[in-house]
Amino acid sequence: MSIFEYNGSAVVAMVGKNCFAIASDRRLGVQLQTIATDFQRVFKVHDKLYVGLSGLATDAQTLYQRLVFRHKLYQLREERDMKPETFASLVSALLYEKRFGPYFCQPIIAGLGDNNEPFICTMDCIGAKELAKDFVVSGTASESLYGACESMYKPNMEPEELFETVSQALMASVDRDCLSGWGGYVLIVTPTEVQERVVKGRMD
Amino acid sequence: MTGSMDLPAKGGFSFDLCRRNDMLEKKGLKLPGFRKTGTTIVGLVFQDGVVLGADTRATEGPIVADKNCEKIHFMAPNIYCCGAGTAADTEAVTDMVSSQLQLHRYATGRESRVVTALTLLKSHLFRYQGHVSAALVLGGVDCTGPHLHTVYPHGSTDTLPFATMGSGSLAAMSVFESKYKEGLTREEGIQLVAEAICAGIFNDLGSGSNVDVCVITKGKTEYLRNHQLPNPRTYVSSKGYSFTKGQTEVLSTKITQLKQTVEVAEGGDAMEE
């Protein structure tokens, strides 16, 4: 069994019109046993920047704590929030530093940059950045997510439609993966508000 | 361990998770695969300079992770480098050498030379004995003329008039071996490079999508991103999926308004004493 399949996870981020969506499943398992159904994988860095961490849960939490630490230092020095592109470079550098003994996490970074332009990117566990204009996926359900997002994605979706699309893609994909699921947590971020929703899914 | 969170690290690799990862591996958990760039990368020297070419597919095992990634990396205004192998390694090593070249330009006040980049790359890769898995095609034009080199993950280099690397290198090399000649013009060079990359795209499963080309001549560099798109998506459904609002079952909703940034008006009334 691979280290990534120890806890199970599914995270996806999608770009809409002046907004973005980031969503994850809610299961935490130890191989085939489920131990929590409300596990948080998507974390806030600042009001307009979120990071989703799939893979080994302990590394996801440690990496999140280190990232928040670095961001707070940046805020104290620069007296402003980090831009999403800068944050992506920070995550990439932090992961590459551990090239020969990596964190077993695949982060997804989603934020609103200058002029509230949505920015999403993902990386592998050693920091190889992949910028995308439409959607990014990671986790044990990633292959199903690729397929679902590729067919359901449309450019320039408004927040309501984006929410429906992301939720349907996520729910459809985790239903085909034993290790993720048990509900979904979807965040839609627009320049004026943040909508967090817990989506009902199959509990198996 | 208590001191490790106090300051950000000073750079270079950190090995503090290695013991834990070894322990996990002994317990039977397999280490993950890293994103590779599969790849076909090529370079050739023509009469006025160097042409570099690359495909744009990034793979994670058998899955295509990125359909349009950039494999031609900037090293200096007159030097570019194509990378194959582990994607994180090629990006990190080219960024690092690019920064070192910039500092060197500030210190010397001169344009960078291709052999400088070559030596920096090969010594870094040799120091890590092939564990930094980056196979590169380095090309540029400096005061001594056009140069094209290949760098292997263990640190060996070759200097060649035409070169190919990556999983599609055999397909591309077959095109070069049959059609390359000395003294090609710019159009012939670009045409030949595009043909070699297309051979890699269509015949090698690790390469795909589009052709990127970079032409470097004395005093001018042109980066032709997506020079050819031979693989357009043909199966797009005209209707697409449309979900009506409220179709997804929601258990709970929480909406937070974001704080608006306050605009400070300039030139207001002065405060009274």
Tell me the three-class secondary structure of chain B, residue by residue: CHHHHCCCCCCCCCCCCHHHHHHHHHCCCECCCCCECCCCEEEEECCCEEEEEECCCEEECCEEEECCCCCEEEEECCEEEEEEEEHHHHHHHHHHHHHHHHHHHHHHCCCCCHHHHHHHHHHHHHHCCCCCCEEEEEEEEECCEEEEEEECCCCCEEECCEEEECCCHHHHHHHHHHHCCCCCCHHHHHHHHHHHHHHHHHHCCCCCCCEEEEEEECCEEEEEEEEECCCCCCCCCCCCCCCCCCCCCEEEEEEEECCCCCCCCCCCCCCCC
Contact between chains at B255 and A3 (C-beta distance less than 8 A): no
Give the pLDDT confidence score for residue B237 in this predicted structure: 72
Pairing outcome for strands B72-76 and B79-85? antiparallel
Average pLDDT rounded to a whole number, residues A152-162: 93
* Residue ranges in chain B modelled with pLDDT below 50: 1-4
Closest residue on chain A to B241 (Cα): A152
What is the overall mean pLDDT for chain A?
94
Average pLDDT rounded to a whole number, residues A44-61: 95
Of A69, A126, A195, the CB nearest to B5: A69
Residue B88 to residue A123: CA distance in whole angstroms: 9
**Which of these, A25, A64, A51, A41, lies nearest to A119 by C-alpha position?**
A51
Residue A84 to residue A160: CA distance in whole angstroms: 23
Tell me the shortest Cα–Cα distance from B219 to chain A, in angstroms: 31
CA atoms within 13 A on the CB side of A118: 27
Please indicate if any CB of chain A lies within 8 Å of the CB of B67.
no
Please indicate if any CB of chain B lies within 8 Å of the CB of A8.
no
Contact between chains at A103 and B17 (C-beta distance less than 8 A): yes
DSSP code per residue over A10-58: EEEEEE-SS-EEEEEE--EEETTEEEES----EEEEETTEEEEEEE-HH
Contacts of B127 (CB under 8 A, 6+ apart): B155
Between A44-53, A81-90, B58-67, B79-88, the lowest mean confidence (pLDDT) is in B58-67
Tell me the shortest Cα–Cα distance from A40 to chain B, in angstroms: 15
**Which of these, B59, B103, B94, lies nearest to B75 by C-alpha position?**
B94
State pTM to two decimals. Answer: 0.87
Average pLDDT rounded to a whole number, residues A26-48: 93
- CA angle at B195 for the pair B192 and B196, rounded to the nearest 5°: 90
Which of B37, B39, B86, B164 is an active site residue? B39
**Which of these, A22, A15, A47, A50, lies nearest to A131 by C-alpha position?**
A15
- Tens digits of residue pLDDT in B140-167: 999 999 999 999 999 999 999 999 999 9
Query: Is B39 designated active site?
Result: yes
Please indicate if any CB of chain A lies within 8 Å of the CB of B268.
no
Residue A49 to residue A109: CA distance in whole angstroms: 8
Give the pLDDT confidence score for residue A146 in this predicted structure: 94
Of A3, A129, A130, the CB nearest to B31: A3
Q: Hey, what are A135's tokens? A: 């959607």
- Tens digits of residue pLDDT in A133-146: 999 999 999 999 99
Top pLDDT among B36 and A175 is at A175
User: Could you tell me if B78 and B142 are in contact, meaning their C-beta atoms sit under 8 angstroms apart?
Assistant: yes
- At A72 the three-state DSSP class reads helix
Give the pLDDT confidence score for residue B272 in this predicted structure: 67
Give the pLDDT confidence score for residue A42 in this predicted structure: 96
Top pLDDT among A204 and B215 is at B215
Of B31, B32, B250, the CB nearest to A197: B250
Closest residue on chain B to A46 (Cα): B258
**Strand order through the sheet with A49-55:** A42-46, A49-55, A105-112, A118-123, A129-132
- CA angle at B134 for the pair B10 and B11, rounded to the nearest 5°: 0
**pLDDT above 90 as % of chain A:** 92
Give the pLDDT confidence score for residue B2 in this predicted structure: 41
Of B18, B249, B257, the CB nearest to A100: B18
Give the pLDDT confidence score for residue B30 in this predicted structure: 78
What is the overall mean pLDDT for chain B?
89
Please indicate if any CB of chain B lies within 8 Å of the CB of A1.
yes
